[in-house]
Structures are given as structure tokens and as C-alpha cells.
Amino acid sequence: MSKRLPPLNALRVFDSAARHLSFTKAAEELFVTQAAVSHQIKTLEEFLGLKLFRRRNRSLLLTEEGQSYYLDIKEIFSSINEATRKLLARSAKGALTVSLSPSFAIQWLVPRLSGFNQAYPGIDVRIQAVDREEDKLADDVDVAIFYGRGNWTGLRTDRLYAEYLIPVCAPSLLTGEKPLKTPSDLIYHTLLHDTSRRDWQAYVRQLEIQKPD
């Protein structure tokens, strides 16, 4: 069942006035007069049948109802702004957003951009360099290049190439009190690795040996 909504312009004015706790600053932000702000707030209060603001000395404060209403309105306007940003990003003509790790972007993609731009001058390539795995699924990304098994939910994936992991060590570790003779000997030594990769975990899991710390 359709219900009557409050005046949308009055809501916009209320959001600004509540955020600044000032009719004057709201007027400056919205490029209207202070009288126009007061009129819109009065219109909204009459529609709702309650007071949204109160004055104490020379300060403007929200009433309890006004504070509760503002918190809800704030979330709504934030959602509208985010939805608009995503729409504009997707509708940008000829834009291609590529997400990948910073190191791969610098070493592989960036050196090839000049040739790509010459071949496809109408496409604006936008690079989104991220380190964390959870950043892969950003809504405004068109294509992503990442290291992993490719079993990410809701995405179509194509394997670019396979990787072979080979452990290396200093020659001195092959002798001594606890020499490295078999993969199981890894548990007695400190393993060096990139914090953003899980290569050692994958290696010991493949060999079914005790997981190192």
C-alpha cells in the first residue's frame, strides 16, 4: 500500500541542518537563504507533527525525535550517494577497471599500457591496485587478475598459468645440528615468506607434512 512521503527537498535541508546543527551553515551548503532553510524545516515538522529542533541559549540542538530521525535519514542519503557513484562509474564511456596486486600492476600491466592505448585509444584503463583478497570483489571492477585457486563465488575465472613452488635455503642449513634433508625438517627452521602470500601453507599441504608455525 502506497504511503505519502515527506517533501524530499525538506528532507535534504533537514539532513544538512542536522549535520551542521546550524541553519546558517545549511543555507551556505545548499546555496539558499537562511529563511528558506527555516521554511523547509517548518514544512517537515508540520508534515511529521513533531518538533525536530530546539534551541538552548544560542545553540541549535536536535530533539530526541529529531536525533533518531536524522540517523535514519543520514543512512538513506549515504546509500543514495553510493548508488549514484556506482552507476556513474559503470556508465563511464569506454572505461575498463582492472583490479590486481600493486606488484603485478607495476611489473606487468603498466609497461604494457602504452601499447594497449595505441591499439584501443577509445578505452580508458583504470587500475585498482589492492593487496587484500577481500578487495577483489569490488562492485565497480570489470576484470581482476589475482593469485589463487580461482574458486571465488559468483565470478567467472580463467587460469592464466600454473605455478611451481620450489623451496630454497642457504647451503649452511643443509648441515649442522638439524640439517634440511627432507621436507619434514622444515618444522625446525624459520621460514621466510611474503606476508601477503600463503606459499608455505600450500607447499606443506601438498606434501601432507606437519604444518610449520
pLDDT in tens, 34-56: 999 999 999 999 999 999 999 99
Do 48 and 28 belong to one domain? yes
Cβ 70 vs Cβ 26: under 8 Å: no
Tally the domains of the chain.
3
Do 103 and 140 belong to one domain? yes
Do 67 and 104 belong to one domain? no
Q: According to the model, what pLDDT value does residue 183 have? A: 84
Q: According to the model, what pLDDT value does residue 1 have? A: 38
Q: According to the model, what pLDDT value does residue 89 have? A: 67
* Segments forming the whole domain that contains residue 76: 8-90
- CATH number for the domain that contains residue 50: 1.10.10.10
Do 43 and 14 belong to one domain? yes
- 79 part of a folded domain: yes
Q: According to the model, what pLDDT value does residue 210 have? A: 65
Do 34 and 53 belong to one domain? yes
Do 77 and 127 belong to one domain? no
**Which residue spans within 27-179 are E strands per DSSP?**
53-56, 59-62, 95-100, 124-129, 143-145
**Confidence category of residue 2, pLDDT binned at 50, 70, 90:** very low
Do 72 and 119 belong to one domain? no
- 160 part of a folded domain: no
Do 65 and 116 belong to one domain? no
Across 57-77, average pLDDT: 93
Give φ, ψ of 148 to 5 degrees. 165, -170
- 212 part of a folded domain: no
Q: According to the model, what pLDDT value does residue 135 have? A: 52
- CATH number for the domain that contains residue 131: 3.40.190.10
Instruction: Inform me whether the pLDDT recorded for 122 exceeds 90.
Output: no
Q: According to the model, what pLDDT value does residue 132 have? A: 59
Do 36 and 107 belong to one domain? no
Do 68 and 26 belong to one domain? yes
Do 13 and 77 belong to one domain? yes
pTM for this entry: 0.45
Reference 143, options 104, 187, 199, 195; nearest CA is 104
- 200 part of a folded domain: yes
Q: According to the model, what pLDDT value does residue 69 have? A: 95
Q: In the block, which residue shows the cell 647451503?
A: 171
Q: According to the model, what pLDDT value does residue 44 have? A: 96
Burial of 30: CB neighbours in 10 Å, binned 0-12, 13-18, 19+: middle
- 157 part of a folded domain: no
Q: Which three cell numbers stand for residue 148?
A: 589463487
Do 82 and 19 belong to one domain? yes
**In the chain, % of residues over pLDDT 70:** 88
**Confidence category of residue 138, pLDDT binned at 50, 70, 90:** low
